[in-house]
Amino acid sequence: MSRDEERAQLIGCAIGAAVVNLIAEGVVINRDNIVDELHRQGKTIGDGVGSVISHEAVEIVMRGQ
């Protein structure tokens, strides 16, 4: 598996985790709430890699891709 594939999987997992957390909390699923949750996750993780992945996931969600 290439590094890009691994990165894409991590980003997908971050977005999926954000959506699952929002559903569990009973929050409406929309772009703004997903972005907010990804920011929250990035701060909670706090390490370099997790923060970078969360930031990249936010960029993808904001672009709508």
Structure tokens at 26: 């009973």
Q: What is the dihedral of CA 46, 52, 53, 58, to 10 degrees?
A: 100
Q: Residue 29: exposed, middle, or buried by beta-carbon count in 10 A (0-12, 13-18, 19+)?
A: exposed
Domain ranges of the chain: 3-63
Architecture of domain 3-63: Up-down Bundle (1.20)
Residue 48 pLDDT: 72
Residue 6, CA distances (Å) to 3, 30, 32 in order: 5, 26, 26
Q: What is the pLDDT of residues 5-63, one digit of tens each?
A: 998 999 999 999 999 999 999 999 999 999 999 999 888 876 677 778 888 899 999 88
What predicted TM-score, i.e. pTM, was given to this entire model?
0.84
Quick check: 11 and 56 in contact, CB under 8 A?
A: yes
